[in-house]
Structure 1
Amino acid sequence: MRLAPHLHRLGNDVVACYLIDTPEGITLVDAGMPGHWRDLQRELKSLGKSASDIRGLVLTHGDSDHIGFAERLRREHGVPVYVHAADAERARTGTKPKTPAGPMRLGPALRFLGYGLSKNSLRTRYVSEVTEIHDGEVLDLPGNPVIVGMPGHSPGSVAVHVPLADAVFVGDALTTRHVLTGRSGPQPAPFTDDPAEALASLDNLAGLRATWVLPGHGAPWRTSPDQVGETVRRG
């Protein structure tokens, strides 16, 4: 789904990942669930591109619903997978602390579970090899993604700022649709390791120039990054 010049979304408001298309090639942000591989192939075909045009995949963090087709892309096409050093082990093994789910409604929770099953979530493969990245890095990938540390949801949670796409990709640093309650609007994401740290990290977005704030769950949000922290806390 094309959102704007250079900017495409794979998936939907339940689980989403993103594609940045440039003349120099393609950068992906997150990899959804394994079944999003088909979404990726459809989007590439619509652009007249193929997996050979993908130069890199940047993960906002290492949770299973964000690494879905990463290992397949790395293994079959040699695409490097980038993840913050503090989440590298999570992406490679799935190791993470147990966190309380928080509020839940049966219907939305079942929809999330059902969508995951339809996208082969039980067949997620962890990433055998990753390239570790750090806060403040500008990656040598199409669009020159800038890594912004957003610890809280996980130790290595990051936002990915791509000025070319006028966008900042925030993973699970926030959500605009709570997958367990169905509540819409900007708010903290569930399954967060350290909720207080996650809320504080939203201030790290201030000063970025972007029109799109794009979460891994929920609708795309058009706002100034300067307003994100206050809006989420107020909500």
Structure 2
Amino acid sequence: MKVTDGVYALDSTKGNYAYLIQGEETILIDTGRPGQGKGILNELQGLDIKPDDIKHILLTHHDVDHIGGLVFLQKITGAEVHASAEDIPYIYGEKKRPGIKRLVSIIMRTGKPENIIPFSPEETIGGLEVIPTPGHTPGHVSFLYNDVLFAGDLIQTSHGKVSPMNSLMVWNEELSRKSIDKINHYQFKWVCPAHGQPINVNGKIEL
């Protein structure tokens, strides 16, 4: 599904969207649930994108439904993989996820990726600005590309409205709220969440 010029929500991951950006470089944001990697690859090929066209895979956070296709896609594309330093130990399996997420990670196994590069402060990758937005996880990040905000699980959308994530799935609600307040200081038009449809918010997330 095309969101705007050069930005696609990948229908093969509907319900926990991964996104494709075709800008300075071709970039994939998140990789869906375990087993969705091949569907992502097929969808990219339908857009005339070859596996080795993908130069970077950027991860918003460590949850299983965002890193499920990572091992497969990293191997097929040869892309550099980037995530926050705080969340990398969870992705590698060196730290256990808290609460219900621990059970989910046991049921939905993801494998262990290689050579994840931690984001640097105020980093920009292929035209995407990396914005730390902790709360949902310790190292959750969002990305700003032109007037599009890729929000990961900072928020969700439903029926054209933005709402907070279920508190059972949020590591620190106070930090998450502060991250939402922080993100509203940036200029953007579109919000692209993992859960829910991309929506036009005219520059502000209102809960």
Fold conserved (TM > 0.5)? yes
Q: Distance in 1 between matches of 2:160 and 2:98?
A: 26
Gaps of 5+ in 2: none
Deviation (angstroms), 1:184: 7.4
Q: Which of residues 194, 197, 204 in structure 2 aligns to 1:219?
A: 197
- Aligned to 1:199, the other structure's residue is in SS state helix
TM-score, structure 2 as length reference: 0.86
Aligned: 1:152 with 2:143 = no
The code of the aligned residue for 1:161 comes to L
In 2, the alpha carbon distance for the partners of 1:66 and 1:91 equals: 10
The CA deviation string for residues 171-211 of structure 1, in whole angstroms up to 9 with x for no partner, is: 1111114xxxxx87311112000011101111221232322
CA spacing shift, 1:86–1:124, aligned 2, 3 Å: same
Distance 1:193 1:37 in 2: 26
Equivalences for 1:183-202 in 2 at 5 Å? 185-190=161-166, 191-202=169-180
Moved over 4 A (4+): none
Structure 2 CA distance for partners of 1:184 and 1:6, relative to 1, 3 Å: closer
Check whether the contact 1:176–1:219 (CA below 8 A) recurs between aligned residues.
yes
Matching residue of 2:87: 87
Question: Is residue 209–residue 224 contact of structure 1 (8 Å, CA) maintained in 2?
Answer: no
For 1:35, the equivalent position in structure 2 comes to 35
Equivalent residue for 2:149, pick from 140, 155, 168: 168
**What corresponds to 2:124 in structure 1?**
138
Please tell me the root mean square deviation across aligned C-alpha atoms, in Å: 2.3
How far apart, CA to CA, are the structure 1 residues paired with 2:165 and 2:120?
A: 23
SS at match of 2:18: strand
- Aligned residue in 1 for 2:58: 58
Whose relative contact order is higher, 1 or 2, with alpha carbons under 8 Å and at least 6 apart? Answer: 1
8 Å contact from structure 1 (residues 17, 216) kept in 2: yes
Tell me if structure 2 keeps the 8 A contact 1:175–1:187: yes
| TM-score scaled by length of structure 1 | 0.77
Look up the equivalent residue of 2:118 and give its one-letter code.
Answer: E
Q: Deviations over 1:11-46 (max 9, x none)?
A: 455211100013x54101111113332332233222
Q: Does 1:124 align with 2:115?
A: no
Question: How far apart are residue 53 of structure 1 and its match?
Answer: 0.3
Code of the residue aligned with 1:18 in structure 2: it is Y
The separation in 2 between residues aligned to 1:33 and 1:26, in whole angstroms, is 21
Offset of residue 146 of structure 1: 0.6
Q: For structure 1, which segment, 201-210 or 211-220, has the greater mean C-alpha deviation from structure 2 after superposition?
A: 201-210
Alpha carbons 2:55, 2:78 under 8 Å: kept:
no
Give the aligned partner of residue 71 of structure 2: 71
1:149 and 1:204 in contact (8 A); partners too: no
The letter for the 1-side match of 2:174 is: A
Q: Give me the identity figure in percent.
A: 27
Greater per-residue helix proportion: 1
Structure 1's unaligned 5+ residue stretches are 101-115, 178-182
